[in-house]
């Protein structure tokens, strides 16, 4: 939908008294409603869960989860860390935090699998395999994803550059020679890094293929990407869960390795020899007993 949910609520026609109560609650506390289940929202407002589902449909959404995702997409980049903590505390108060967080992570992976474009995933894989140079860029919490991807891509290719988090000038120095035939992979999730966006613009202006990995199609990362892959990233207290993004990165690494063929096998056979010769890994007690 082109309109955000608050605009849809303002434009909607006649609502029942119960539906109007839901609308009022969302308008006054959308940052909390965005992370509530239909049952939780119904209990807070004092209506039935069926009424909440019908309200979502009245706004034009196919289901309540679809409406909730629209709310989340709208608010995720707006909340400060302090606001995130306050929302998370209210949503998990008196509950099982372990169950809440792990269940949320499972849901994020499921939504990612349902929503992802297989065509875009294949296009991203092909672009990486055929790239002259691969640049990987992720700042702040996304830097963990960038370095994880870079670690495995470095085992597969000789042309991988993980851009280190540094000052703005130093970032541009690291991608100074990027050009046509290269791939620039940018990872960013709410709250989106301005430096990542500036680096993407430079890479695109230099003719590189820009692959974005972000949470939804209204992300500023999506707007600057030639190919964009989406992974859900829900809010958990002051942090965003990166379980689904990491799973997507895993899939990309495996798909890329599958397309490189026999080169991968040869590389890892040589690595195993080096690891054994220089004692890189400690053997388990079982392995020691077999020697």
Lowest mean pLDDT among 46-55, 99-108, 139-148, 156-165: 99-108
Which pair of structure tokens corresponds to residue 158? 């000789």
More confident site: 109 or 290: 109
* Position 88 in a domain: no
Last residue of one domain, picked from the residues 75, 103, 134 = 75
Residue 265 has pLDDT above 60, yes or no: yes
Query: Tens digit of pLDDT for each residue in 73-102?
Result: 777 656 665 566 666 666 556 567 787 778
User: Distance between CA atoms of 249 and 145, rounded to whole angstroms?
Assistant: 8
Domain co-membership, 138 together with 260? yes
Lowest mean pLDDT among 4-18, 107-121, 180-194: 4-18
- Kindly report the CATH number assigned to the domain that includes residue 31: 1.10.10.10
Query: DSSP assignment, residue 47?
Result: S
Domain co-membership, 62 together with 124? no
* Position 157 in a domain: yes
Last residue of one domain, picked from the residues 14, 47, 75 = 75
Domain co-membership, 167 together with 249? yes
Domain co-membership, 263 together with 197? yes
- Kindly report the CATH number assigned to the domain that includes residue 141: 3.40.50.10490
Domain co-membership, 71 together with 120? no
Cβ partners under 8 Å of residue 10, min gap 6: none
Domain co-membership, 173 together with 262? yes
Query: Tens digit of pLDDT for each residue in 147-168?
Result: 999 999 998 898 999 998 765 6
Give the number of C-alpha atoms closer than 13 A to the C-alpha of residue 52, restricted to the C-beta side.
22
Domain co-membership, 129 together with 221? yes
Structural domains of the chain, count: 2
Domain co-membership, 135 together with 187? yes
* Position 110 in a domain: no
Assess contact for 211 and 255: CB atoms under 8 A: no
**Mean predicted lDDT score pLDDT of the chain:** 84
Last residue of one domain, picked from the residues 75, 99, 126 = 75
* Position 267 in a domain: yes
User: Distance between CA atoms of 187 and 140, rounded to whole angstroms?
Assistant: 10
More confident site: 57 or 96: 57
Question: Tokens 């839901």 — which residue?
Answer: 22
Assess contact for 22 and 68: CB atoms under 8 A: no
Question: For position 208, what pLDDT does the model report?
Answer: 97
Domain co-membership, 27 together with 150? no
Q: Domain range spanning residue 137?
A: 115-276
* Position 35 in a domain: yes
* Position 166 in a domain: yes
């Amino acid at each position: 939908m082109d309109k955000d949910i608050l605009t849809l609520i303002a434009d909607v026609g006649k609502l029942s008294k119960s539906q109007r109560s839901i609308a009022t609650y969302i308008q006054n506390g959308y940052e909390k409603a965005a992370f509530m289940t239909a049952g939780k929202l119904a209990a807070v407002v004092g209506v039935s869960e069926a009424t909440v589902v019908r309200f979502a449909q009245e706004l034009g959404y196919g289901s309540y989860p679809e409406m909730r995702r629209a709310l989340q997409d709208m608010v995720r980049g707006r909340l400060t860390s302090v606001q995130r903590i306050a929302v998370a505390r209210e949503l998990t108060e008196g509950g099982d935090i372990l169950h809440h967080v792990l269940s949320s992570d499972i849901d994020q992976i499921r939504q990612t699998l349902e929503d992802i474009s297989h065509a875009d995933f294949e296009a991203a894989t092909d672009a990486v395999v055929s790239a002259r140079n691969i640049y990987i860029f992720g700042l702040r919490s996304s830097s963990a994803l960038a370095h994880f991807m870079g670690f495995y891509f470095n085992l597969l290719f000789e042309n991988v550059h993980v851009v280190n988090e540094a000052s703005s000038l130093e970032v541009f120095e690291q991608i100074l020679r990027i050009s046509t035939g290269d791939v620039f992979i940018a990872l960013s999730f709410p709250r989106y890094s301005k430096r990542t966006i500036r680096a993407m613009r430079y890479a695109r202006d230099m003719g590189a293929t820009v692959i974005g990995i972000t949470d939804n199609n209204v992300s500023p990362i999506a707007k600057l990407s030639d190919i964009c892959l989406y992974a859900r990233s829900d809010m958990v207290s002051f942090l965003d869960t990166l379980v689904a993004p990491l799973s997507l990165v895993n899939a990309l690494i495996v798909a890329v390795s599958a397309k490189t063929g026999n080169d991968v096998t040869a590389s890892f056979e040589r690595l195993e020899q080096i690891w054994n010769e220089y004692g890189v890994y400690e053997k388990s007690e079982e392995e020691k007993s077999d020697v």
